[in-house]
Amino acid sequence: MQTRLARNAGFCAGVRRAVKIAEEAAQEGGRWYSLGPLVHNDAVVDNLKGKGIIPVNRLEEIQVGEDAGVIIRSHGVPPETIEQARQRGLGIKDATCPLVTRVHEIVASLRGEGYEIVVFGDASHPEVKAITGWCDNQARVIASVDEACQLQVVDKLGVVSQTTKDGEEFYAVVNALLPLAKEIRVFNTICSATQKRQQAAREISLGADLIIVLGDPKSSNTATLARECKNTGVKTLQIRDASEIPADCLSGVSAVAITAGASTPDWIIKEVLDRMTEFEEKSQQELEQEATSEQDIKKEEETTNEVVGAEEAVGQPANEEEREESFAKMEAEMADFETPGRGDIIKGTVIQVQDDEVMVDVGGKSEGIIPLREMSLKDVNSAKELVNVGDEIEVMVLKWDDDGSILLSKKKVDTQKVLDKLSEDFNAGSIVEGTVTGTVKGGLLVDVGMVAFLPASHVEDGYVKNLEQYIGKTLQFKIIEFNRNKRRGSQIVLSRKELVAEEKNRLKKEFWENIEEGQTRPGRVKRIVDYGAFIDLGGYEGLLHVSEMEHRRVEHPSDILNEGDEIDVYILALDHEKERVSLSRKKLLKSPWEIAQEKYHEGDIVEGTVVRIAPFGAFVELDPGVDGLVHISQMANYRVEKPEDVVSVNEQINIKIISIDPEDKRIGLSIKQVQEEEEATEVQQYLEEQDNEEVE
């Protein structure tokens, strides 16, 4: 029996965030409550309860004056609930899913702009109750196309959806609403995680005899997921955990697909996978016990059938000589073909290719069938992607059917070949290449021809915070464990630890051989600390101090840099003995004065801010890092006793640039000349108006 887990299954980002917030609250101490179950999964709620997070249905259940806090669950709450919590003196941690928060913002905006609001969802669901609360409970909640058709015609209509609903149903409702408004705004607020789970479930349903959906019955997204699985036509079973798997549900099942709702924790998925492994081992043992006797019986029956069939095919010869000749010909044909038994690997020629199966001529007047699920180690939509008529391929015999046809597998032969190659690589200590396909508890899954396990502690030569960044990357590995007969867990365990360390040492040596002060190098921001940022220079890390980031003062490195940013840096200083590299970004940037030279010219009238007053005048900031001086003699067209009589600190003023000295980095400014020009302009306008009046 084959078991496959959907690519997208289990906790979504919103649920994982909510659980993390709750766990961190539990570690802070004090009493923390969740307003309603944090997520729709009793196992998760019970787990958090054991850590001190107590669910309550109403704020009134929390005693006034108690030093306590409340966690807003992932479904969100109306704004008045948050205000009530504040009035009761409760601490608040908001674990509302960010996607749900976005829906709140949308409906609040639509309400403010005068739109009638429709929410597609379940009126009793806490997420929907919260959404309607953010638009003053003035939204109409509908759950079907029929309900949509009953609405009155309005001028302006805004439509959103509960995040866990089905996309096709949502657009069917929207289509029904289109004739009911002169103007309609539609926001697809269905969570992409929900859509991805549904798509992944549809993908693994291909070739499956049974789909198991894991999730709490109260979970809306799990119910939607189960409905999508049933729509595929494959038998679907929705359960909470491994204890609910009926013993007889796997009877006659050769391929099981497993998926899980967004509120289902990893440990429940793991328990179910372990249980399926137990079923698979039991099934394998039973097959092996039957194999010997069944194979002997089949060989005997098939040999007899071939002889009888041959007699019927040649008919009744006209004489004894023709009969002997026919038997001799038949024996010659059969001499080259030995009836294959279960588990035998034979060669055959493809004679027909369909989307869901391939027919193969395996000799001896026998034809075999390879179902799509037995064609490849990878998931494909059609067998036509893999083979063509006339191709010669190796296949394994799975069983003989009553009609004499043979059930074959190409995948099992490919698996053996891959395992043989990986066994050689393991014994030789060779490096193998593979692509990371996903994350599991404790590490990553890697495709090296078949699925292998990469422990989190062997991904790099140090701790890795975010494993998901490796998904889709093709990397090199060493095999540290190999057991082709292992039934539970992974047959192949990989490591990058030594390879990464070796590569780092090589790059480090190369780095110190080629690095020189004054060079400009590309780098990537690896870590940000209060006093600067560590930059990966492709073999070694250097420190970019906060004082070398900009020409202006930088309060904190995170104000201008993010981890992962690609930047150019200047090699400021090297300490070969201590292996330290000091970097500068400021050296590669134009100084504020260089920019000012290009931007400002004598005679320009610009706006500035008074930043400092001295007895001889006022300093005015034109740009950050660029100040000019308005001398007291340039403040007004009359004698000024004190600069404070004319300007004040932080005042925005218009000034004229009367001189620029690049060498001494000085700019002379004048308020007086601006006033004089303004007065001259006013006089000129007045004279022009007088001239116009005289002409009239």
Q: Which strand (E) or helix (H) includes residue 411?
A: helix 411-428
Q: Which strand (E) or helix (H) includes residue 142?
A: strand 139-142
Q: Is there a contact between 669 and 628 (Cβ–Cβ < 8 Å)? A: yes
Residue with tokens 């003196």: 89
Tell me the C-alpha to C-alpha distance, in Å, between residue 51 and each of 58, 76, 111: 20, 22, 40
Nearest-angstrom CA–CA distance, 132 and 107: 8
Q: Is there a contact between 16 and 270 (Cβ–Cβ < 8 Å)? A: no
Helix %, strand %, coil % for the chain, to 5? 40, 30, 30
Q: Is there a contact between 249 and 273 (Cβ–Cβ < 8 Å)? A: no
Residue with tokens 């570690």: 27
Nearest-angstrom CA–CA distance, 260 and 257: 10
Radius of gyration of the chain (CA): 38
**Alpha helix segments (H runs only) across 315-410:** 320-335
Q: Is there a contact between 107 and 160 (Cβ–Cβ < 8 Å)? A: yes
Exposed e or buried b for every residue in 71-90, given b needs 16+ CB within 10 A? bbbbbbbbeebbebbeebeb
Residue 4's nearest CA partner among 229, 204, 183 is 204
Nearest-angstrom CA–CA distance, 545 and 580: 13
Nearest-angstrom CA–CA distance, 635 and 679: 15
127 is a catalytic site residue: yes
Nearest-angstrom CA–CA distance, 248 and 688: 102
| Catalytically annotated residue among 23, 24, 83, 127 | 127
Instruction: Give residue 469's identity as a one-letter amino acid code.
Output: Q
Tell me the C-alpha to C-alpha distance, in Å, between residue 458 and each of 219, 442, 444: 36, 10, 10
- Concatenate the DSSP letters of all residues of 1-45 into one string: -EEEE-SS-S--HHHHHHHHHHHHHHHH-SEEEEES-SSS-HHHH
Residue with tokens 């944090």: 38
Tell me the C-alpha to C-alpha distance, in Å, between residue 484 and each of 255, 419, 422, 464, 691: 21, 7, 10, 29, 104
Residue 379's nearest CA partner among 201, 186, 124, 629 is 201
Residue 494 has phi, psi (to 5 degrees) of: -110, 165
Structure tokens at 314: 């040649």
Residue 554 has phi, psi (to 5 degrees) of: -110, 120
Nearest-angstrom CA–CA distance, 44 and 34: 12
Nearest-angstrom CA–CA distance, 673 and 650: 21
3-state secondary structure of 186: strand
Q: Is there a contact between 610 and 647 (Cβ–Cβ < 8 Å)? A: yes
User: Integer distance in angstroms from the first to the last C-alpha of the chain?
Assistant: 104
Nearest-angstrom CA–CA distance, 216 and 43: 9
Determine the length of the chain. 696
Name 70's bridge partners. Answer: 33, 92
List the catalytic residues. Answer: 127
